[in-house]
Every structure is written in C-alpha cells, then in structure tokens.
Amino acid sequence: MKRLLEKIRSPLLKRNGKVESESKPRSAVDEPPTTPRTKPKTDRFSLISWVVTIVLAAGLLGWALYYKSTLPPVVVTVPAQATPDSDGGPVQVGAPGAGQEGGGFPSILRDLQLKTRIPERPRYEPVVYRVSRGDAMLRIAESYSVKTESILFANPQLEDNPHNLKPGMELTIPPVDGLYYEWKDGDTFETVAKSFRAEPEDIVNFPGNDIDLTNPVVEPGKRVMVPGGSRELRNWAADLRTVSRGANTGTGGGNVANTCGGGPVAGGFGWPANSFVISGNGYGPGHLGLDIQADVGDPIYAAGAGIVTMSQGGWNYGYGNVVQIDHGNGYVTVYAHLSVINVGLCATVGQGAVIGAAGNTGNSFGAHLHFEVRLGGSNINPYDIVR
C-alpha cells in the first residue's frame, strides 16, 4: 500500500515542480522582444451600414415632405348666418376649425406678403408742400386725396387759379376736403356751417379743431377747419368773353358778336391734339377746361367745323395766344397758350384743320393746350361732347 501511494505521488510531484518552475518570474533580460500595438483596422461593414441608414432616412423624409405638399388644401367655410333650430331650440353653430375632409384644426389660406401693408392713418393737421417744376394742381391733389378746390381754398396766393402755380411756391394742403375759416365774434357753428354749405356737427367733431365737446366754444381769431365746406371760386374764364360769328347764330349767353357772318355748322367734335393725356388740370371748379399734354410746336386741331371768331396774341387774361371757333350750333371752342397761330379772323375751318401749335404763352406752367368748350356763353365739360 505504501508503495502504491509512492507511485501515485511521484508523478504529481514532478508535474507540480514543472508548474512551479514555469511560474517563477523571469528576468527582463530573458523576456522575448515584443512588437508595438497597431491601430485596429476599419470595420467596413459598420461604415456601409451607417451610409445606408443615412440614405434611407433622407429618402423617407423627402418622401414625407413631397406627399404633404401634394395634399389638397383644406378651406374653412364659415356660415354666413346662424339659424335657429326648427323646434325653436338654441342656435346651431358649426364647430370651428372643422374641414371638409375630417377634424383637426385646418388653417385658412392666405397670400404670402413680403411687404407689410400699413394702413394710411387719418390726418388732422395741414401739411406744407413745395411746388416743383412739372407739378400740376390735379396731381398734387390726388397725392394727398383731396380735391383741387380744397387746395385753392387754403391758399389765397393762388387767387382761385390753378395756373398760378410756380416752382418754389409753398402750398398749405388741408387734411380733408373743406376750407379754413377764422372765427369771428358772434359766430356760431350753425351760421358758419350755413355760410359754407356744411354741417355744424362736422365742425364740432373734427379732431383737428380741438373743441371741447362738453363745452363747445371757439375763441374769436382761431382758425377752424370746416369739413365739406365750399365757396364760389373766381371764374377766370369769364374774363375772356365768348365771341360768336354774328347775330342769330344760337351761341347766345351775352357774348360779343363780330362781323364774320355765316359759315359751316359742325356735325360733331373730335379731339384737338395728338395726345389724349391730361397733363395738368381737368375740368372742375376753378378750372373750366382741360389741360392736354402737348410739347411746344405740336399741332393743334379744330375740334369741329366753324368760323374763327378770335385769333389774338398777347396776355389775354392769362390765356396767352388764343383762338376761338364758333361752330354755328351754339358751341364755341377755345384753344389757349399757343406758340403759333395759323388761322386768321373769320377764317373757315373744317374739323381736324391745323389752327396752330402748342406752346407756353400767357399764365402757363409748362407747355400744354388749354381747351374749353362753351355752350350759350357758359363753360361745360369738354368730355360731354368731344370724342
């Protein structure tokens, strides 16, 4: 038994001895040389996986945006008026935000505006405008949304004549149509409004007048705006008398008759210039004709057949070189500010005949044709008969 144990023990001791010998530490001199560590190689599979993932995500996002853009817009229909129930019950009102294709909160379509629109605020105080070369009363009035006569009312230096505009002149532009009035002792809102064909409430309630509504009193000497007020303007056209061809021609109106005698009668009227543009002032209070665009030297035509009853150069009350034609049917036409006159007194002309050239004579603010039509000696709107 003892021998058997020795046999078993001997191999174990040999093995343990070998392990112990192997487990003993070695000297650094005996260590084998080592190679430096290298950077691990790139995993191609991982790189390809990330690229495929990014491409798929971008494709799904692009498809979603395209699909959304192709959907029809949802328009909200708001009922014009709610109606009561047929059984007399409460009023039924449609649910807000419900579209035709389902619930949710659809938006109302609006046009994209890159520029913010600021509404024009009402103006209660006058402004000062300096006249520039090429200005006309009609254009100035339109730019401030007032009538030409309102500017004439507010500027006594114009003497009720829009042709008195001059470069450098400063104009008072009222905030609204109407006129300014200097309050006098004993005036009342009723008497002032009646004098200028206005309403007394408009004077009291106009914010620019700064009137205390609890105690509406105006001190004498204060200038107040009379909204909607008006007065008679000086009729400068009356200075140039209407001249007819002779007695019993139907022109009438207290005009002056010359000795031209009879002649052709106009059957219709045409436009007297090549341009159809109104360059200065149109027909209205203070300006009883049309200012038609024309350069110096442009031909001016007879609006209708007739007899020349005035062919006169000079100032002529501001008309400058002027021609009048009596058309034998009650109408007389006037052509002013001409640079050249091509017809003489009592000459017979047909419709479209060249009677002169446009110019800038008389009280003129730039070359143009001032054209008037008179019936029975009184001015009428040329647009009523001229085509």
- For the chain, the domain total comes to 2
Give the end-to-end CA distance of the chain in Å, rounded to a whole number.
Answer: 152
* Residue at 23 is within a domain: no
Per-residue model confidence (pLDDT) at position 98: 46
Contact in structure between 349 and 310 (CB atoms under 8 Å):
no
CATH assignment of the domain containing 176:
3.10.350.10
Out of 91-100, 256-265, 355-364, pick the least confident.
91-100
Question: What tokens appear for 59 in the block?
Answer: 């494709």
pLDDT confidence of 205, banded at 50, 70, 90? very high
Tell whether the model's pLDDT for residue 20 goes beyond 80. no
- Over range 109-120, report the average pLDDT: 61
Per-residue model confidence (pLDDT) at position 145: 93
Q: Indicate whether 250 and 298 sit together in one domain.
A: yes
Q: Indicate whether 243 and 169 sit together in one domain.
A: no
CA distance 259 to 29: 149
- Over range 304-319, report the average pLDDT: 95
Q: Indicate whether 292 and 205 sit together in one domain.
A: no
Per-residue model confidence (pLDDT) at position 121: 81
Q: Indicate whether 245 and 331 sit together in one domain.
A: yes
The string over 56-91, giving b where at least 16 C-beta atoms fall within 10 Å of a residue's C-beta and e elsewhere, is eeeeeeeeeeeeeeeeeebeeeeeeeeeeeeeeeee
The more confident residue out of 111 and 369 is: 369
- Over range 80-84, report the average pLDDT: 51
Per-residue model confidence (pLDDT) at position 136: 83
Q: Indicate whether 216 and 246 sit together in one domain.
A: no
Q: Indicate whether 160 and 264 sit together in one domain.
A: no
Per-residue model confidence (pLDDT) at position 307: 95
Contact in structure between 307 and 331 (CB atoms under 8 Å):
no
CA distance 312 to 304: 19
pLDDT confidence of 93, banded at 50, 70, 90? very low
Question: What tokens appear for 163 in the block?
Answer: 């042709």
pLDDT tens-digit map of 120-133? 788 999 999 999 98
Q: Is the dihedral of CA 212, 214, 219, 223 positive or negative?
A: positive
Q: Indicate whether 311 and 215 sit together in one domain.
A: no
- Between β-strands 256-257 and 243-244, what pairing exists: parallel, antiparallel or unpaired? parallel
- Over range 42-58, report the average pLDDT: 83
- Between β-strands 256-257 and 170-173, what pairing exists: parallel, antiparallel or unpaired? unpaired
CA distance 286 to 128: 21
* Residue at 66 is within a domain: no
- Between β-strands 348-349 and 368-375, what pairing exists: parallel, antiparallel or unpaired? unpaired
- Final residue belonging to a domain, choices 227, 254, 272: 227
Give pTM, 2 decimals: 0.62
Residue 165: domain span? 127-227
Residue of 283, 314, 298, 294 lying closest to 369 (CA atoms): 294
* Residue at 281 is within a domain: yes
CA distance 154 to 147: 11
Per-residue model confidence (pLDDT) at position 107: 55
Q: Indicate whether 209 and 250 sit together in one domain.
A: no
Per-residue model confidence (pLDDT) at position 254: 46
* Residue at 115 is within a domain: no
Q: Indicate whether 260 and 343 sit together in one domain.
A: yes
Residue of 359, 357, 210, 378 lying closest to 283 (CA atoms): 378
